[in-house]
Amino acid sequence: MHNREKSSCWFFAGLWVTILLTAVYWHFAGRDFSAFILLSDNNIEQVAFNEEVKVYPHDGYDGQFFYALALHPFERITATFNPPSENSLDRPFASGIRIDNPVLRTKRIGYPLLAWAANGFGQGGYLPFALVLINILGIGLAIGICFLLTMLFKAPSYYCLMPLAFIGTWICLFRDLSDHLGVAFGLLSLYFVVKKRFWAFALMGTAAMLTKETVIFILLGSAFSIGLSALRQKQYERIMLLSFPFLAYLGWSAFLGWHTPSDGTLLKHFDWPFAGIARGYIKALPLPLFWLGTFVPIALISLEGLLELWKNRLHSLFQPVTLIFLFNLAFVLLLSKAIYEDPFSFARNMLPLQYAAMLLLIQQKQGVSWFTIVVSTGTATLFYFASILNL
């Protein structure tokens, strides 16, 4: 068998593991895909709400807003851009579900729009399943791109399974979040830059930005590494293609926020690095233990990446993967406290950094240390079983 065909077995193994673990979680969740949504009873109007979806007596999680968007994506976009009356967005929509910040949520239209399409373009009755399916395919896409990059970097192909050891991967899957799908689109954009397919980068980068804007640092690292040489050589068409995802996102944000204010920006609250984690330890158990479980594997792979850069004396500073790693690390260290609100937010927002560190190590030394892999796998396994026990 050809080496590439042998190596591809790792990709299919990762996809099957994802499907199997999702099926087990679904079984313990009462065989109800709506349990992934975590819809809060605080955000529904009982008179208008007629969906057969499990409702919880707590605040729920962000997946409930993606679900609401996927029910009526185009109507939501219209209502966000042009609210029919003052404060109308504070009231539940026709579906009976209230969205807390319409502009911020609707900016991330990519995931719910794909789920709407998978739900028979809104005509099917299996939207909760469609949301989970899209995320499983997103994980498969991320593993597939990592597989292609391991082949490109001449590293062992089994490292493409590393994303399954990231807690954020499972948080996004079990809570119907868009972060992992956005990262998958961002990684595909990186692959297109490496292969010098700039039209494909423009299209896929736009899809990434309209799915989860925090992938911007993956796109910036990819675009900046090529953009400098393109600018020196006056390749303006290439520069426009590299800029297109960012311009598209700015245009989309301006369109949605034209008549509707939004307080949803990661730059709105500045804080000391990791201050949120420190506050987490002040609270009662088991939160500090969860903080430790999310923080340690991320710190390990990030430190390993920094050490490898130091060994190479930054000779590869302007390569795409290096810039992606440094940009995401700077984001974690310097920007807002929004990513430290709770362990779940921290783990999901750290996904781009974990991917960047992993790809940097694969490119620079063709592998990640087994200690980092064991710790990451162990914490992800504990999180998985804890999630089942808490259902």
CA–CA separation, 197 vs 262, rounded Å? 35
Give pLDDT, residue 246.
95
Contact (Cβ atoms closer than 8 angstroms) between residue 179 and residue 214 = yes
For residues 209 and 246, is the Cβ–Cβ distance under 8 A? yes
Beta bridge partners of 97: 44
Q: Could you write out the DSSP letters of every residue in 15-49?
A: HHHHHHHHHHHHHHTTS-GGGGT-EEGGGB-TTT-
**What are the tokens at 246?**
């960012």
pLDDT in tens, 39-93: 988 888 765 676 678 888 888 899 999 999 999 999 889 888 877 655 444 444 6
pLDDT of 1 reads 43
Query: Given this model, what pLDDT does residue 190 score?
Result: 94
* Domain map (residue ranges) of the chain: 3-389
Residues of the chain with confidence (pLDDT) below 50: 1-2, 87-92
pLDDT of residue 189: 96
CA 252 from chain centre, in angstroms, equals 19
pLDDT value at residue 126: 93
